[in-house]
Structure 1
Amino acid sequence: MKKAFSTLFLLIFMVLSACSPSPVKDPISSVDVQTEIAPISPAEDSGEVGYPVAAESVMPIYAYPVGTEMEDLPLEEIAEIVVQALAVRDLATVARFVHPELGVCFSPYTYVKGDNPVFLPDQLPELVGSTSVYLWGTFDGSGEPIEMTFDEYFDRFLFSADFSNPEEMAVNEQIGRGNTINNIAEFFPGSTFIEYHFSGFEEEYGGMDWVSLRLVFVQEGGQWYLVGLVNDRWTI
């Protein structure tokens, strides 16, 4: 009888042991944790200034303080942002300040003409690196057409000198003076221009190799909009 009871007890114990849950490993210690690295921004990948950001993040705009509203900036500060952006051909930043309907007019000389090319904000970033040839005006003296890509025009006229670090700068004051009439006030009524100027580079030319860039702005609804990028230099 005792032997039968002992056998029955052993069987019950074995059944209960089989039904008990087996020990579980600590999920933290048993799983290999892998760190996910954020993708590199295009700017960093291309060697330009940049840093890894999450996909939903917004990349800061060159030379533009994050969180600052454009309409809260004074004109000279806006002009500084624009000229610094031009220096690195960052036309996406320039486009943020261009008039949405009037666009921005490019003129190789200070006498602006109605047939000078005009680009709207969304067209500007596409100009850099483009092989498209545009008619920018005519060469002073010869009258030959200025037919160039944007990058060629940029080097020959728009940024023929480092206007982001000018020798002189003035607001609504013409520094460089040649034989060409400055018609900015008539072509852009009610506008304000900021001039970036170099008085010359080679002593042998006696200052006749001076160059200027004038950023032309109009104000609407308390905001300043870029409407003109006008170059100037000594002309015959």
Structure 2
Amino acid sequence: MKKLLVTLSVLGLAVVACKKEAGKPVPNEIDSIAQLKEDSAGTVQNKADKEAALKKANDEILQALKNKDYKTFISWIHPEKGIRFSMYAFVDLKGDKHFSKADFEKFQPTKTLFTWGAKDGSGDPYKTTINDYLQKWVFSGDFTASQYSVNKFIAGGNSLNNLKESYPAASFTENYIKGSEKNSEMDWKTLRLVFEEFQGKYYLIAVVNDQWTI
């Protein structure tokens, strides 16, 4: 009988102890929760670092274009993938003008004419030098004072925008200049810079212009 009472007492204490601990995570659960919090904080930090790096790259490239500092611009071109230029929102991976970094550096100072695409409306081929294309087409407005976004489109016209499908592993920045009231804001323009990471740094793999098309 005494043994039975002792046993019941021990069981009772165990039940009370369990009730007191109810709702408290066990050590393994605590470790898991802590790890989840760390992982979440790390993800947020990594995203912030990535966006900061892209903003820095974007601003330096725009300033280089504004200053016609093509040596700095060339330094941002992807060492292995080179760079592609799209005149409008639709990216033609086979037809749009593409340079290796070495070829771009070689031809940039020259008067060599390249065909960059076809002009909207007329369909006429747009032939000009690298410098002329950068000055008159790519940097057709002061994009250093434009509205900025990362991996998000601000503006769009009636031209198909297939940037994300064309560069699924890339990140991009958008620099948008609002159109004028005089032209019912139809003369807006935007410049998208497409980046991929290589050996710990973001490099430029594409430059995509966009504007209202007919």
TM-score (norm 2): 0.70
- The structure, 1 or 2, with the larger RCO (C-alpha pairs under 8 Å, 6+ apart) is 2
CA distance in 1, matches of 2:103, 2:131: 15
Q: For 1:170, what is the secondary structure of its paired residue?
A: strand
Matched letter for residue 187 of structure 1: S
| Residue in structure 2 matched with residue 57 of structure 1 by the alignment | none
Matched letter for residue 125 of structure 2: P
CA distance in 1, matches of 2:88, 2:164: 14
| Residue in structure 2 matched with residue 146 of structure 1 by the alignment | 126
Q: CA deviation at 1:128?
A: 4.5
Cα–Cα, structure 1 residues 104 and 84, in superposed 2: closer, same or farther, change >3 Å?
same
Cα–Cα, structure 1 residues 216 and 116, in superposed 2: closer, same or farther, change >3 Å?
same
| Residue in structure 2 matched with residue 208 of structure 1 by the alignment | 186
Select 1:219's aligned residue among 186, 191, 197.
Answer: 197
Matched letter for residue 187 of structure 2: D
Tell me the alpha carbon deviations over residues 121-158 of structure 1, each in whole angstroms, 9 at most, x when there is no partner. 23334444521110001111221111112233223310
Say if 2:181 is the partner of 1:199. Answer: no
Matched letter for residue 64 of structure 2: A
| Residue in structure 1 matched with residue 88 of structure 2 by the alignment | 109
| Residue in structure 2 matched with residue 75 of structure 1 by the alignment | 54
| Residue in structure 1 matched with residue 44 of structure 2 by the alignment | none
Aligned residues: 163
| Residue in structure 2 matched with residue 184 of structure 1 by the alignment | 163
Q: Percent identity?
A: 36
CA distance in 2, matches of 1:126, 1:90: 15
CA distance in 1, matches of 2:65, 2:170: 20
| Higher radius of gyration, 1 or 2 | 1
Specify which structure has the higher proportion of helix. Answer: 2
| Residue in structure 1 matched with residue 206 of structure 2 by the alignment | 228
Matched letter for residue 124 of structure 2: E
CA distance in 2, matches of 1:141, 1:81: 33
TM-score (norm 1): 0.64
- After TM superposition, list the pairs within 5 Å mapping 1:125-144 onto structure 2: 125-144=105-124
